[in-house]
Structure 1
Amino acid sequence: MTLSGSPYSVPRAARLFLSLGGLLGLLSVAGGALAAHLPDAMFAASSGRALAREAVQMGMWHAPALLAVGILLCVRGRRVPLLLAGAAFALGVVLFSGAVGWTGVTGRHLGPVAPTGGSLLMLAWLLLAVDGLRR
């Protein structure tokens, strides 16, 4: 893949994170529509719909983060903190949003899955900050 009229090649990792960011945005919008319009019976009794919305919101917040990682990889080149941040964003949002969404629909907790995902998301933000401080 090259940028229009330029011999500049977009790194494979950048394409991956750009694609994941777009896909996560799509899934978050679809999840938001489901959380808003499905009948109450589709959610866990006490606060299932609120948990589903939280899962969707966390996904939507991290879609632009994945896009940013992809763009930064294009601009700065392949850098370990950026690659690790992108991987942590991708895995963290799947674990966190997946576990919180699952709890919202079924009422059953998946143990330490959501906290693990949340920890990965915090690590990803830290890695992004570390990369920003590098020359």
Structure 2
Amino acid sequence: MPISLIDRLFVVLGAVAGLAGVVAAAAAAHVTGTGSLGTAADFLLFHAPVLVAIAIADHVGLGRAGLLRLGGALVVLGLIGFSGDLAMRALTGTPLFAMAAPTGGTLLMIGWVAIGLSAIIPRRA
């Protein structure tokens, strides 16, 4: 069975998150005073495999597709807000946008709830 375009996109976004996490971790290790950049890197690296796993879970029918994909989208948006804000503040001293980190963190939490619910709520026949 061929993998859907949305599932391919989650794999690509997982790879991008992983790459950005490694870059941010390297920058945090070599630039002084950027502790929040290390946190941004950690969050990117922790969530990158989740995005790949979402594509796999969707492809094999493990969770309810709509909720699984919604959870993945929320994780992506949450990473942009949370890690993006921490990285921007560490590197430029300015926020990504007002309330970006708390909004991103909230989206990450809601994304995890959606991913969990996708495994509990049965798929449509």
2:77 aligned with 1:96: no
Q: Displacement of 1:78 after TM fit?
A: 6.9
> Is it true that 1:26 corresponds to 2:12 in the alignment?
no
Q: Which residue type is aligned with residue 108 of structure 1?
A: T
Conserved 8 A contact 1:13-1:73: no
How many residue pairs align between the two structures?
120
1:3 matched to which residue of 2? Answer: none
Q: Name which of 62, 65, 71 aligns with 1:79.
A: 65
Q: 2:64 touches 2:119 (CA, 8 Å); kept in 1?
A: no
Tell me the C-alpha RMSD between the 2 structures: 1.5
Please list, as runs of the form range in 1=range in 2, the aligned pairs for 1:3-82 lying within 5 A after superposition. 8-38=1-31, 40=32, 48-76=33-61, 79-82=65-68
Q: Is 1:134 matched with 2:125?
A: no
Distance 1:78 1:70 in 2: 12
Letter in 2 for 1:89: V
Contact in 1 for aligned 2:64/2:121 (Cα 8 Å): no
- How far apart are 1:132 and its partner, in Å? 1.3
> Structure 2 unaligned runs (5+)?
none
User: Helix, strand or coil for the counterpart of 1:108?
Assistant: coil
Equivalent position SS for 2:98: coil
Structure 1, unpaired ranges of 5+? 1-7, 41-47
CA distance in 2, matches of 1:107, 1:36: 18
The percentage of aligned residue pairs carrying the same residue is 36
Shift of 1:26: 1.1
Rg larger for: 1
Q: Distance in 2 between matches of 1:102 and 1:22?
A: 21
